[in-house]
């Protein structure tokens, strides 16, 4: 209580210092929440790609990819160690999609049950049902974000690339790519994909043979890496085979950039907040020189004086941390609410992030108090008593 | 029995690189248990310096010649570390200053409790002791007032309560009446005298005021960093606390 009163008597200065640190902590909370979301996305992808190989021509991520043919599936099935190979079509929901935060909205066509139960990345219907083999028309199962954005429910009709689809199911949130996907039967996806090809090509290809990627599940005991080598040997150089490690290598860099930004923000708030706390506490110590002299004279040890200053400084940090966390929490909630209609939920404020922010701020305050505390404890009691 | 005994006490302050002040030039002093002693002398005579050393606020200089000695109830404390001196101040000494020196943000009782805290007395025992000490100086009813809400005389009484609360062996008072009018001075002095008589409290006070000096058992007179006159040392108890005239 005494400590709070000491802070209270220098209201403006304490307020400014607390505000300074609180802004830093707020930034930390917001960026931290964004990184959480990002990591959830990447971890989801990492989990999906972990146990399989994905074959394509060109790269899905570099954009210069060419369609595969279903005959490729047969070729792949002959490779030793392949348990199942199933074709898929992945395309952007909207070609005008440019760089987005997180995953883009996708249309994803596949054969229901094509994985023959080997897929470990399960999705569940929150309402309605998943696609079945009997779905051969324009049926769609929407990811949770996409459904919210399109304001769609089971039974309603949505337009995907100017084609009408009937919504038969909506997925439970996965926090990763499927949330922003529209899952359709392979046949419907082939039709949509055909329209994206140049007119010349449209006549040259057989629509029922089209695929953008082939998902290959290895036999038990065969690692995706081993299978990858065999697939590359069997298919030749024009094909790209990606396994879980390739995915991690590709997206690990994004994760690294986020960590760097986060560290940068943390360092900045450390610097700014730390310096202003040192300044506040140094002023406070100077103002209280005489008081420190009194306390030393009547028997306060140097350690006691140091503790007093450091605790006060830590209290500044703690308050700033709590305020910063509160503002950050409000901001991420508001941004998420604003972004939800358009499917842009960018922040995930976890308990860990919240605790880290508060502990970081408190620690920062305490450390910043060390220098002024040391100075205070070295004051000569007699000189300090005479200080006006 | 001597509660404080000092020999070869010297102190030189360095004001700047070239300018040093020899505040104490070898002092020998002895103060008996239960004595109430005044240290008097003109400004710059070294009386405050002597008191800071007797009160363990400063250590005497380690001399080139004979080593300084300072016995507190028989224990040589001349060369103790800052930490050890601080502990002794907290537990065995009480301080009263000219300008009261209460912590402005704390109430009267919190100021008194501060001294308990540093002496290692906590909780209920500390609270009882603090209230008792405030009662002794007649301020039990003002315990929750801030220093700014108290008169000068009252503030000095709070300071005396703070000095007394740990029942220290020695109370050191630096010009305790310097900032008070004659009526309040008399009150404060009477209070100190009362503790000296009733509890056998040893009191060392530094003063300019010869009236204050006369009210003590003995006057030690200083000039130019040396003691000129030790006064007539007599057992305060034997004489029933009557002041002993010690003219220079």
A157 with A164: CB under 8 angstroms? yes
Q: Does A78 touch chain B (CB under 8 A)?
A: no
Q: Per the CB < 8 Å rule, is A304 touching B118?
A: yes
Using the 3D structure, point to which of A207, A242, A277 is the last residue of a domain: A242
- Find the CB nearest A302 among B82, B93, B103: B82
Best to test chain A binding among B101, B107, B160 (most A CBs inside 10 Å): B101
Which of B50, B102, B105 to probe the A interface (max A CBs under 10 A)? B105
Q: Which of residues 270-309 of A touch B (CB under 8 A)?
A: 290-291, 293-302, 304
The C-alpha atoms of residue A318 and residue A282 are separated, in whole angstroms, by 18
Q: Cα dihedral angle (B208, B211, B212, B218), rounded to 10 degrees? A: 100
In Å, how far is B117's CA from the nearest CA of chain A?
Answer: 9
- Asked if residue A48 belongs to a domain, the reply is no
Please indicate, yes or no, whether residues A221 and A286 belong to a single structural domain of this protein: no
Q: Rounded distance, CA B61 to CA B13, Å?
A: 10
Q: Which helix (H) or strand (E) holds A376?
A: helix A351-377
* Structural contact between residues B30 and B232, judged by C-beta atoms closer than 8 angstroms: no
Residue to test with chain B: of A4, A9, A290, A298, most B Cβ within 10 A: A298
Same domain, A285 and A326: yes
Residues A116 and A185 in one domain: yes
Q: What is the pLDDT of residues A275-306, one digit of tens each?
A: 888 888 888 888 889 999 999 999 999 999 99
- DSSP letter at B59? P
What domain range includes position A144?
53-242
Q: Which residues contact A354 (CB under 8 A, 6 or more apart)?
A: A29, A325, A329
Which residues in chain A are contacts of B147 at CB distance < 8 A?
Answer: none
Do A75 and A219 share a structural domain? yes
- Return d(Cα A24, Cα A17) in angstroms, integer: 11
Residue of B82, B111, B148, B175 to mutate, testing the A interface (most A Cβ within 10 Å of its Cβ): B82
Q: Do B119 and A2 lie within an 8 Å CB cutoff?
A: no
A136 in the same domain as A70: yes
Other Cβ atoms closer than 10 A to A11: 9
Kindly state whether residues A117 and A227 are assigned to the same domain. yes
Note whether B103 contacts A302, CB cutoff 8 Å.
Answer: no
Q: Which of A216, A242, A268 is where one domain is finished?
A: A242
- Which token pair is A236? 């030749």
Query: Cβ of A5 and B105 within 8 Å?
Result: yes
Judge whether A351 lies within some domain.
Answer: yes
Give A-chain residues touching B52 at CB under 8 angstroms. 382
Q: pLDDT tens digits for chain B (248 residues)?
A: 789 999 999 999 888 888 888 999 999 999 999 999 999 999 889 999 999 999 999 999 987 778 899 999 999 999 899 999 999 999 999 999 998 999 998 999 999 999 999 999 999 999 999 999 999 999 999 999 999 999 999 999 999 999 999 999 999 999 999 888 989 899 999 999 999 998 889 999 999 888 899 989 999 999 999 999 888 755 444 444 444 444 43
A31 is a domain residue: yes
Residue at A65 is within a domain: yes
- Subunit contact A298:B97, Cβ cutoff 8 A: no
* Nearest neighbour of A298 by CB, restricted to B104, B110, B162: B162
Cβ B101–A290 below 8 Å, yes or no? yes
- Residues A37, A81 within the same domain: no
Does residue A311 lie within any of the structural domains?
Answer: yes
Q: Kindly state whether residue A47 falls inside one of the protein's structural domains.
A: no
Dist. CA B35–CA B206, nearest whole Å: 14
**pLDDT score for B236:** 43
* Whether residue A258 is found in the same domain as residue A233: no
Q: Evaluate whether residue A293 is within a structural domain.
A: yes
Interface size A-B, in CB pairs within 8 Å, comes to: 61
Check whether residue A274 and residue A318 sit in a common domain.
yes
A106 and A145 assigned to the same domain? yes
**Sequence-distant (≥ 6) Cβ neighbours of residue B24 within 8 angstroms:** B9, B10, B11, B46, B49, B50, B53, B60, B225, B226
How many other CB atoms are there within 10 angstroms of residue A175's CB atom?
Answer: 17
How many domains in chain A? 2
Burial class from Cβ neighbours inside 10 Å (0-12, 13-18, 19+) for residue A39 reads middle
Check residue B134 and give its pLDDT.
Answer: 95
- Contact between A382 and B90 using a beta-carbon 8 Å cutoff: no
What's the token pair of residue A220? 């038990």
> Which pair of tokens denotes residue A195?
């329209």
> A5 — contact with chain B (CB < 8 Å)?
yes
CA pair distance A335, B132, nearest whole angstrom:
61
Same domain, A200 and A264: no
Mark whether A275 and A352 lie in a shared domain. Answer: yes
pLDDT at A117: 82
Contacts of A1 in chain B (CB under 8 A): none
Give chain A's residues under pLDDT 70: 1-2, 6-9, 58-65, 96-102, 343
Environment class of residue A309 by beta-carbon count within 10 Å: exposed (0-12), middle (13-18) or buried (19+)? Answer: buried
- Contact predicate B76/B69, CB 8 Å: yes
Q: Point out the residue among A296, A299, A385 whose CB comes nearest to the CB of B115.
A: A299
Measure A363 CA to nearest chain B CA, in Å.
Answer: 27
Residue A344 in 3-state DSSP? coil
Nearest CA in chain A to B48: A382
Tokens of A64: 């210069």
| All domains in chain B, ordered by first residue | 35-56+81-229 (3.40.50.300)
Scanning every residue of chain A, which has its alpha carbon at the shortest distance from the alpha carbon of B166?
A: A298
Q: Which candidate from A6, A298, A385 shows the least CB-CB separation from B89? A: A298
**What confidence score (pLDDT) does residue A344 get?**
74
Question: Which residues of chain B are within 8 Å of residue A380 when distances are taken between CB atoms?
Answer: 58
Q: Does A382 touch chain B (CB under 8 A)?
A: yes
Smallest Cα distance from A372 to chain B, Å:
20
What's the confidence (pLDDT) of residue B247? 40
Q: Which tokens hold the place of B65?
A: 């010649």
Tokens for A316, please give them. 């500044």
Contacts of A301 in chain B (CB under 8 A): 83, 86-87, 90, 118
Final residue of a domain: which of A242, A272, A292?
A: A242
- Side-chain half-sphere exposure of A361, counting CA atoms within 13 A: 29
Report ipTM (2 d.p.): 0.89
């Amino acid at each position: 209580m005494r400590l709070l009163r000491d802070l209270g008597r220098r209201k403006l200065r304490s307020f400014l210092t607390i505000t300074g640190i609180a802004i830093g902590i707020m930034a930390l909370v917001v960026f931290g929440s964004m990184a959480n979301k990002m990591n959830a996305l990447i971890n989801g992808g990492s989990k999906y790609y972990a146990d399989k190989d994905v074959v394509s021509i060109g790269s899905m991520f570099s954009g210069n990819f060419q369609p595969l043919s279903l005959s490729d599936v047969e070729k792949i099935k002959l490779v030793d160690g392949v348990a199942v190979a199933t074709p898929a079509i992945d395309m952007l929901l909207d070609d005008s999609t440019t760089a987005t935060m997180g995953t883009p909205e996708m249309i994803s066509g596949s054969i229901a049950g094509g994985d023959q139960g080997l897929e470990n990345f399960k999705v569940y219907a929150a309402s309605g049902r998943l696609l079945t083999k009997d779905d051969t028309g324009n049926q769609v199962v929407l990811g949770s974000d996409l459904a919210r954005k399109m304001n769609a429910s089971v039974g309603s009709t949505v337009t995907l690339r100017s084609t009408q689809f009937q919504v038969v199911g909506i997925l439970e949130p996965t926090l990763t790519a499927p949330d922003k996907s529209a899952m359709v039967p392979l046949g419907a996806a082939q039709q949509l994909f055909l329209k994206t090809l140049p007119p010349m090509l449209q006549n040259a290809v057989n629509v029922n043979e089209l695929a953008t990627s082939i998902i290959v599940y290895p036999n038990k005991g065969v690692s995706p890496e081993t299978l990858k080598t065999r697939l590359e040997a069997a298919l030749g150089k024009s094909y790209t085979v990606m396994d879980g490690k390739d995915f991690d290598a590709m997206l690990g860099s994004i994760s690294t950039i986020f960590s760097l930004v986060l560290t940068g923000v943390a360092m900045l708030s450390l610097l700014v907040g730390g310096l202003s706390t040192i300044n506040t506490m140094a002023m406070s110590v100077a103002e209280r020189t005489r008081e420190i002299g009194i306390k030393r004279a009547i028997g306060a040890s140097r350690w006691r004086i140091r503790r007093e200053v450091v605790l006060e400084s830590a209290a500044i940090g703690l308050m700033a941390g709590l305020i910063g966390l509160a503002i950050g929490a409000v901001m991420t909630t508001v941004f998420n609410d604003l972004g939800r209609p358009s499917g842009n939920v960018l922040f995930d404020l976890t308990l860990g992030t919240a605790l880290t922010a508060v502990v970081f701020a408190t620690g920062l305050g305490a450390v910043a108090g060390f220098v002024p505390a040391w100075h205070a404890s070295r004051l000569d009691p007699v000189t300090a008593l005479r200080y006006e | 029995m001597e509660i404080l005994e000092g020999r070869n006490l010297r102190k030189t302050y360095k004001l700047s690189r070239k300018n040093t002040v020899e505040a104490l030039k070898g002092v020998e002093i002895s103060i008996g248990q239960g004595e109430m002693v005044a240290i008097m002398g003109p400004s710059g005579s070294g009386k405050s310096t002597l008191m800071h050393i007797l009160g363990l606020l400063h250590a005497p200089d380690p001399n080139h010649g004979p080593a300084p000695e300072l016995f507190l109830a028989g224990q040589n404390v001349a060369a103790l570390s800052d930490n050890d001196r601080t502990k002794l101040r907290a537990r065995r000494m009480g301080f009263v200053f000219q300008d009261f020196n209460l912590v402005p943000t704390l109430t009267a009782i919190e100021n008194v409790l501060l001294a308990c805290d540093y002496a290692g007395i906590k909780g209920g025992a500390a609270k009882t002791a603090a209230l008792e000490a405030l009662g002794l100086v007649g301020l039990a009813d003002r315990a929750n007032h801030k220093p700014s809400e108290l008169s000068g005389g009252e503030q000095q009484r709070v300071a005396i309560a703070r000095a007394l609360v740990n029942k220290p062996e020695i109370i050191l008072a630096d010009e305790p009446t310097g900032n008070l009018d004659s009526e309040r001075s008399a009150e404060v002095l009477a209070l100190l005298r009362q503790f000296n008589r009733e509890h056998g409290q040893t009191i060392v006070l530094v003063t300019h005021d010869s009236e204050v000096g006369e009210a003590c058992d003995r006057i030690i007179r200083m000039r130019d960093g040396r003691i000129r006159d030790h006064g007539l040392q007599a057992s305060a108890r034997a004489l029933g606390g009557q002041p002993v005239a010690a003219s220079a």
